[in-house]
Chain A
């Protein structure tokens, strides 16, 4: 169980600069917070979308979920953390109690 606010944890998962698909990030965060329901999954995915909207994550690739890895026939997004995202994360983790 992570002790960080969820969006901070999502940034932390991405902080190594590797590109990851949204379902990979969601899966990790679901384990961290025990949010295993569909509602928990969608909540976390929406938080990723919000982080991308304010340019903390940048989308690098997209594909259709043909195999139903996340949600069948939905669009899957691959993200990488941006410099702004890293800067806000370092600020967050430096001060988080």
Chain B
């Protein structure tokens, strides 16, 4: 084999690895919907719901319980990542990266703000006020925002083919959840708060990807992500939960109540799937770029539906098959792109 052929093979390997990480992210993200849904129905969270509703009404109770769940989610992700980075021997690197605030960890702090209180909370709000299908569709738009930012800010190469593929995947997502969204939109009475939640999810995750990629220029994905979740952990446990306590909501009581075996087990399952979905997401960016990484990761919509069918036994509608086919077509279109186009990402 000549040198150029060997070289091209290496590029292909790097790009395949990037797509593999993005796909793994989509699968784990889809799996996360199982514990993410289940945890709302555990005893401590149902009790919390009742108690918070008595204090501030149904709408506020929903947001407060969403904050408690998101805070617990951040805690279990941090635990899962300590195991991961401990095994990889990255603890020293986390400390070095954290100390380099301006070039590295500052970007992960911003990423945690957009990813946590904006995107994840927004997603929960959209779920609660409008419905799960609407929340999923709204979030599906995030790669559009992520790609635009990566293109204009980082000068990332987004070929026509990649842009069209991202749009096909987004349309596929819309078709998957289409019927459900219409029903939810008709029945929602305080929908506008939910729409804001949806907007928060799409913009939050899109902006997070582009900002995190700036930090990932000069730091590792595993360490960068851990710092991002440590920051999110701080936002919930040092700022949000104490603030809610001052406002009269006994959030710590219910956060501590979640440390019983079943609820914590479900939360740990959420932490592991969410933590590693995020690790895979961050790992794909330096290899294939933010636009492509987010585009493929968007297949989570399809995997979420598959997870829900497998674990909750809900019968799929025909729209799911059509939307799923579009998602797969879009991904194949992107993944089969000539690898020399991606020799450098910028």
Chain A residues engaging chain B, CB cutoff 8 angstroms: 3-8, 11, 33, 35, 40, 47, 49-50, 52-56, 62-64, 75, 84, 88-89, 91-92, 94-97
Contacts and interface: CB of A to CB of B under 8 A. Distances in A.
Contacts of B100: 4-5, 8, 92, 95-97
Interface of B: 3, 6-7, 10, 14, 89, 92-93, 96-97, 99-104, 217-220, 223, 286-287, 344-346
Contacts of A95: 100-103
Given A5-B93, A6-B93, A54 B103 contact: no
24 contacts: A3-B99, A4-B100, A5-B96, A6-B220, A7-B219, A7-B220, A8-B219, A52-B344, A53-B345, A54-B345, A62-B3, A62-B7, A63-B3, A75-B3, A75-B6, A84-B346, A88-B103, A92-B102, A95-B102, A95-B103, A96-B99, A96-B100, A96-B103, A97-B101
B3 A54 contact: no
Q: Give the secondary structure class of A's interface.
A: helix
Contacts of A11: 218
B10 A53 contact: no
A12 to B, nearest CB: 10
Q: Give the secondary structure class of B's interface.
A: helix
A92 B102 CA distance: 7
Given A5-B104, A62-B7, A97-B99, A88 B344 contact: no
A31 to B, nearest CB: 15
B345 to A, nearest CB: 5
